[in-house]
Chains A and B, each alone.
Chain A
Amino acid sequence: MSEAVSALPHAQYSGLVDLAEAGLTGMITLRGDLASPVLAEAVRAATGASVPEVRRIEAGESGQAAWMSPDELLLIVPYEGAAGVVEALETALAGEFATAAEVSDARAFFRITGPQARDVLAKVCPVDFSDFAVGELRRTRAAQVAAAVWREEGDVWSLVCFRSVAQYVWDLLATVSKPGGEVGFYR
């Protein structure tokens, strides 16, 4: 199999924060009844995580489950195994009204790290980042494009967007991370 290539392999930048492309990541859109025990079991089997509450992301031993909308989750798993996870989900959810689709290659995935991460994100995302706990997530926009943002741990943040606008989002984050643009709002 030819090697799969992410949108901006190994992109890195250091300014007010450290920016890095997170590389290829398995992602699965799962739509269905989030209250369904069958779906919860399928999510647990796929990721080890429980079904997240609204605007949350839960981590398990083999992946993460992120809330996307009242009937949609984004499952994050290793890239190589994503197709297999979709198959497993389809089997587990047979008979349920649920849809699983692989979107690993439709996304670009960035990591934003540093104490000024919230100040940088707040330049492009209309989100209140105060009291934004680890495991919280927002579907929002990064300036002119759709994005999802969550807090992985401490000063480590993740942002996903569509693959086609990876370069735009990269340039955007790098622009607003340039030294000299310190805000000091989030302390």
Chain B
Amino acid sequence: MSHRLSTGGRLIDRSRSLEFTFNGKSMSGYEGDTLSAAMLGAGQVLAGRSFKYHRPRGVVASGAEEPNALVGLGEGQRYEPNQRTTTTELFSGLKATSQNHWPSLEFDVGAINSKLSRFLPAGFYYKMLIHPRAFWKHVYEPIVRHSAGLGRAPDAETRDADRYEHFYAFCDVLVAGGGVAGLTAARAAARAGKRVIVMEQTAHFGGRAPVDGEVIDGMPASEWVDGVLAELHGLENVTVLERTMVAGVHDHGYILGYQRVADHQPGADKPRHRLWRVRVGQLITATGAIERPLSFAGNDLPGVMLASAVRDYVVNWAVAPGKRVVVVTNNDDAYRTALALHQAGVTVTAVIDARFEATGDLPAQARAVGIRVAEGMAIRQVLGSKRVSAVALCRFDSDGGAVAETLECDAIAMSGGWSPVVHLWSHCGGKLTWDDARAFFRPDPARPPLGHDGQGFVAAVGSANGMMDIVEVLSDAHQTAQGTGEAPQAEPVPEAEMLPVWMMPKQASYELRAKMWLDPQNDVKVSDVQLAAQEGYASVEHTKRYTTLGMATDQGKLSNINGLAILSDALGQAIPQTGTTTFRPPYTPISLGVIAGEAAGPVFQPLRRTPMHAWHEAQGVYWEPVGLWRRPYCYPQGEESHADAVIREINQTRTSVGLLDASTLGKLLIKGPDAGKLVDMLYTNMMSNLKVGKCRYGLMCNENGFLSDDGVVARLSEDSFLCHTTSGGADRIHAWIEDWLQCEWWDWQAHVVNLTEQFAQIAVVGPNARKVLEKMGSDMDLSREGLAFMEWRDGKIADIRARVFRISFSGELSYEVAVPASQGQAFWDAALKAGAEFGIAPYGTEALHVMRAEKGFIMIGDETDGTVIPQDLNLNWAISKKKDDFLGKRGMERVHMVSPDRWKLVGIETLDGSVIEDGSLAPLPGVNENGQRRTQGRITSSYYSPTLGKGIAMALVHNGPERMGEEIAFQGKDGATIMARIVDPVFYDKAGEKQNV
């Protein structure tokens, strides 16, 4: 039984006890505990169940590498699944629930899978869930879906209660890892005056050294660590961050750091997590090493833990994993665990050492305190159901057929040697080399990740670099960080050679191998990897996916090396030949919240507001998103429906006067000696001959001739034009023009300045429009002759500087007035006041759309979709035949573009006057070469026209303009056939008399 020791625990404060619950059961721990330490201290070994077989799982590790102890943390708006108890700091009121069990953790129905494990081999899904086909949808998929995933997702209606943020930083040297290697490197770099950031993923510095009782510069490691930290904190050029994990290493020295600012203080008024986005000159990875498990039968039972983790629990938190512990190892380091347990008063039943003889200093110390050392032995099998009760031993060099001895115990501390944490080195392309003597992959200094200059920008130091002795670790870190003077000194502790052990006993039978877990979270066993090899999976990447080895939330931090050693053995090749799977960021999962950063709630996305936005809102407007803008769609009054509001707004405008906020229209100033030349290239029609004071409608195409944007151009002066773009197109067209000016026509003397937001633009539209403006008071002649259709003037209206364009997108008498944005609301108010006697009312984008459709005006994005050329829309009149060139000219001459078979714009009227659905297709009999129904046309816009009292539509139809009056069938909703007639697309005032009054 795991339990709290009566003394010790370097990280806990026994005076501060913290209450928490696990599966609703109240428990208590101490401040400084991790959740796993507190649970073990409270005697709770069972933490969850595995993914495939639902086998009982207990904690294995003490840090980020933990595969098993995953819980759902918190509740409601602060619930989060799959949280590792080993990296969760205990706080008062913590609520944890176990995962992957039904109906309860203690009794789980899914565990029946375990009994069926011989029928659920590697690749089971691939093999079994294919036939019969029909079973997939109705049988297999629901089952897989039900059992998929680990923790449950947060409830759909909950919203994350916490805030998050990003932080951009820059430094010369970023040190990943605050162990003694990292601190040594950081201090060396800091003393050289470099800008240094140190990121330590836990809340404590020093790494393993204080736990292992190292002595540095003549003092205990923890004291040395405190001294270095004090020095670093005192330096202006150093930032020291605890609870901050380097999550990813990316191109050009871009590092992501994941700071858990307030996980340990839930509800605190702080950002919960902060994402550090850092550009570094050099990254020094001092990420240490991770101990490897050993593969023996029953090694997945709760109570089987890493030897180093056992040591951590004993020394850091005064928690013993059991009363009687067996240590099993292939190296000297695990004897430190035996000694630590012994020193803490826990019975060490025996150290099972696979090596023929254990002769090093540490085994000698263990023997000296009376610990039994069994040499050349192996664990044949762990006995117990929900947790360890005993181990059966056999000779290591055997097939496990003969049980030599059975030892009662309630915990096992295993050590298969160490693997440097090479993840960060590898994220951006650093290569590894196999160290035969120590049986691990370590960074190959000759092949580091390369930066923009072709030089390596990552250096690994200490254990992360394969240094396993404290003396080596410190000098490596000191030298790599170009420290001056002596490296920190330490007492060497000589260790005898380890014996690579990938399976115990060495020639284990199939029966044993089928019980040896490699990946305890995903339930991948030695036999599964061997089966994959037998079935021809030679690539480690394929084997990974086939068996799911290392694909769980821990990404195989414990299992990968053991797995690929088994695979190599099965394939009869050396481990380096098999290679590793790819190490990808993040090192451990980071929260979705921190990726979004501050972009939540009102600042999720920028919302662009016109100067009259607040006024619209106060009217109860119904908004339409247009790009990032919000534009009024309509202004419903009282209980009025949107459709009725649109009808009312159109009728008001057509019969008297309406007001439109057109501020979102793009307004690009093009100016310079070559301005005329530039606009002639940008537009398909001739613009350079436009007279000052006049306006002209123009089309812009891309190089392929496809229609891209349209709008009215006003010539402001000899050398300047004001180009109006669509609301959504302003930034895109601005960038497009800059692109041409900067990259292709860099010697042309023309500037483009985006003035979109300088002006509020207000359209005063309708037969009474002129009266309203005149009543507002103006120093301009706004009469029919004084300001003719398609002219503009500068002057004042309502005492506000105004530029008036007499242009019309509705077919009515219409003035678009541009005023400084800061006076937009003032102008709007003045227009409402002056127009009151005419019943003036604002209208929205839908009324605008209907009115333009009644006039047969096209809309970019409705009649165009990136495949439409101006000729398709019968806009040949707007394509200059005189100009030598313009953007799109050559594209329009391609064979397909001049084909007589292109669909062309027509008007459509349903025979029954109903409104046809936008996007409806006109089907033809038969299918095309792709087996799709043939079609001859498509509705591009469709509205109810209150002016005409019926549905009107525009469509692109094969040979449309030649088929006027012809009846054509469209396919409506639910496949119903709707009969319609092809008509002229100008439904209203074809002669244009209304706008020219």
Closest to B270 in A: A180
User: How many angstroms from the CA of A181 to the CA of B606 in the assembled complex?
Assistant: 22
Q: Provide the bound-state CA to CA distance between A99 and B603, in Å.
A: 35
A171 within 8 A of B: yes
A101 CB within 8 Å of chain B = yes
Chain A residues, Cβ within 8 Å of B274 = 183
Q: Which has the most chain B C-beta neighbours within 10 Å: A71, A101, A164?
A: A164
Instruction: Known A97-B672, A99-B753; judge A181-B603 contact (CB<8 A).
Output: no
Task: Report B-chain residues with C-beta under 8 Å of the C-beta of A162.
Answer: 608, 757
**Cα–Cα distance between A125 and B195 once the two chains are bound (Å):** 20
CA distance A32 to B277 in the complex (A): 36
A132–chain B nearest beta-carbon distance, Å = 11
Total number of A residues with any Cβ neighbor in B under 8 Å: 52
A55 in contact (CB, < 8 A): no
The smallest beta-carbon distance between A86 and chain B, in angstroms, is 11
Q: Which residue of the partner chain, among B163, B603, B757, contacts A171 with CB atoms under 8 Å? A: B603
Are B169 and A122 in contact (CB-based, < 8 A)? Answer: yes
* Count of chain B residues near A, Cβ 8 A: 57
Given A3-B826, A104-B820, A185 contacting B610 (CB threshold 8 A): no
Which A residues touch B823, using CB under 8 A?
2-5, 105
- A83, A101, A166: which contacts B755 (Cβ < 8 A)? A101
B759 on interface, CB distance cutoff 8 Å: yes
Distance, CA A187 to CA B234, complexed state (A): 11
Q: Across the interface, do A123 and B603 meet the contact criterion of CB distance under 8 Å?
A: no
Shortest distance in angstroms between A38's beta carbon and chain B's nearest beta carbon?
15
A78 to chain B, nearest CB (A): 14
The reply on A11 being an interface residue by CB < 8 A is: no
Within 8 A of B (CB), among A81-113: 83, 97, 99, 101-107
CA–CA, A50 and B800, complex, Å: 33
The answer to whether B271 touches A180 (Cβ under 8 A) is yes
Quote the shortest CB–CB distance from A80 to chain B (angstroms): 11
Across the interface, do A165 and B167 meet the contact criterion of CB distance under 8 Å? Answer: no
A40 interface hit (Cβ, 8 Å): no
- Tell whether A101 pairs with B669 under 8 Å between CB atoms, given A143-B603, A175-B603, A176-B165: yes
Q: Are A164 and B610 closer than 8 Å at their CB atoms?
A: yes
Contacts A31-B753, A106-B756, A130-B170 known; A4 to B822 CB distance under 8 Å?
yes
Contact check: which of B607, B751, B758, B821 meets A99 at CB < 8 Å? B751
Residues of B within 8 A of A164 (CB): 608-610, 629, 757
Question: Residue A127 at the B interface, CB < 8 A?
Answer: yes
Residues of A within 8 A of B271 (CB): 180-181
- Whether A2 lies near B798 (C-beta < 8 A) is yes
Give Cα A2 to B821, complex, Å: 12
Closest residue on chain B to residue A169 by CB atoms: B606
Q: Known contacts A123-B598, A143-B603, A172-B598; is A2 also within 8 Å of B800 by CB?
A: yes
The smallest C-beta distance from B718 to any residue of chain A, in angstroms, reads: 12
Chain B residues near A127 (CB-CB < 8 A): 168
Of A119, A163, A168, A179, the contact of B607 (CB 8 Å cutoff): A168
Chain B interface, DSSP helix/strand/loop, else mixed: mixed
Docked Cα-Cα span, A128 to B280, in Å, equals 11
Most B CB within 10 A of own CB, among A5, A171, A175, A184: A175
Cα A62 to Cα B279 with chains together (Å): 39
In the docked arrangement, what's the CA distance between A32 and B751, Å?
A: 8
Q: Which residues from B are CB-within-8-Å of A5? A: 611, 822-823, 825-826
Which of A6, A71, A123 has a CB less than 8 Å from the CB of B165?
A: A123
Inter-chain CA distance A187–B238, complex, in Å, is 10
Instruction: Give the docked Cα–Cα distance between A5 and B743 (Å).
Output: 39
Known: A97-B672, A163-B757, A167-B609. A105 touches B820 (CB 8 A): yes
Does B799 count as interface, using CB distance less than 8 angstroms? Answer: yes
In the assembly, what is the distance between CA of A178 and CA of B269, in Å?
9
What A residues does B756 contact at CB under 8 A? Answer: 106
Residues of chain A within 8 A of B611, CB atoms compared: 5, 163
Chain A residues closer than 8 Å to B671, beta-carbon distance? 99, 101
Q: A residues within 8 A CB of B599?
A: 143-144
B801 to chain A, nearest CB (A): 7
Whether B166 pairs with A123 at a CB distance below 8 angstroms is yes
Cβ of A29 to closest chain B Cβ, rounded Å: 5
- CB-CB < 8 A to B603: which residues of A? 143, 168, 171-172, 175
Q: Which residue of A lies closest to B259 (CB)?
A: A183
Tell me what chain A mostly uses at the interface: helix, strand, loop, or mixed.
loop
Whether A101 lies near B753 (C-beta < 8 A) is yes
Which chain A residues border B629 with CB–CB below 8 Å?
164
Q: Is the beta-carbon distance between A178 and B163 smaller than 8 angstroms?
A: yes
- For the complex formed, measure the closest distance between the CB of A15 and the CB atoms of chain B, giving whole angstroms: 11
The closest CB in chain B to the CB of A142 belongs to B606
Asked if A103 contacts B758 (CB within 8 A), the reply is yes
Give complex CA distance A4, B799 in Å: 12
Instruction: Assess whether B830 is interfacial by the CB under 8 Å rule.
Output: yes
Does chain A have a CB within 8 A of B149? no
Q: Compute how far the CA of A187 lies from the CA of B237 in the bound complex, rounded to whole angstroms.
A: 9
B758 / chain A contacts, CB cutoff of 8 Å: 101-106
Q: Determine whether A35 belongs to the interface, using a CB cutoff of 8 Å to chain B.
A: no
Q: Does residue B602 face the partner (Cβ distance < 8 Å to A)? A: yes
Q: How far is the CA of A166 from the CA of B603 in the complex (A)?
A: 12
Residues of chain B in range 736-762 having any CB-CB distance to chain A below 8 Å: 749, 751, 753, 755-759
Q: A24 at the A/B interface (Cβ < 8 Å)?
A: yes
A64–chain B nearest beta-carbon distance, Å: 19
A124 at the interface (CB under 8 A from B): yes
Residues in A with CB closer than 8 Å to B755 are 101, 103, 106
Per the 8 Å Cβ criterion, residues 138-187 of A in contact with B are: 143-145, 162-168, 171-172, 175-176, 178-181, 183-185, 187
- Within 8 Å CB of A145, what residues of B? 606
Contacts of A122 in B (CB 8 A): 167-169
For window 217-248 of B, CB contacts with A under 8 Å fall at 236, 239
Mask, B128-168, CB within 8 Å of A = 1, is 00000000000000000000000000000000000101111
Task: Determine whether B932 belongs to the interface, using a CB cutoff of 8 Å to chain A.
Answer: no
Residues of chain A lying within 8 A (CB to CB) of residue B606: 143-145, 165, 168
Knowing A31-B753, A105-B820, A163-B757, the reply to whether A123 touches B826 (Cβ < 8 A) is no
B268 adjacent to chain A (CB < 8 Å):
yes
Task: Please report the C-alpha to C-alpha distance between residue A102 and residue B803 in the assembled complex, in whole angstroms.
Answer: 14
Question: Which of A2, A24, A97 has the most CB atoms of chain B within a 10 A radius of its CB?
Answer: A2
| Distance in Å: Cβ of A162 to nearest Cβ of chain B | 5
CB distance from A155 to the nearest CB of B (A): 17
A144 to B596 CA separation, bound complex (whole angstroms): 12
Residue of B whose beta carbon sits closest to that of A97: B749
Q: Closest residue of chain A to B279, judged by CB?
A: A128
> Known contacts A105-B820, A176-B598: does B236 contact A187 (CB below 8 Å)?
yes
Report how far A2 CA is from B823 CA in the complex, Å.
7
- B605 in the interface (beta carbon within 8 A): yes
Whether A143 and B598, one on each chain, are in contact in the complex, defined by CB atoms closer than 8 angstroms, is yes
B213 CB within 8 Å of chain A: no
User: Which A residues touch B589, using CB under 8 A?
Assistant: none
16 new A-B contacts, CB < 8 A, other than A5-B822, A122-B167, are A1-B800, A5-B611, A71-B751, A104-B758, A105-B821, A106-B756, A106-B757, A130-B170, A144-B599, A145-B606, A162-B757, A172-B598, A178-B163, A180-B271, A181-B163, A185-B167
CB pairs A–B below 8 angstroms (14 shown): A2-B799, A4-B826, A5-B611, A24-B822, A99-B751, A104-B820, A106-B758, A119-B167, A123-B598, A143-B597, A143-B599, A145-B606, A165-B606, A179-B269
* Interchain residue pairs A-B with the least CB separation, the first 4: A2-B826, A4-B822, A164-B608, A106-B757
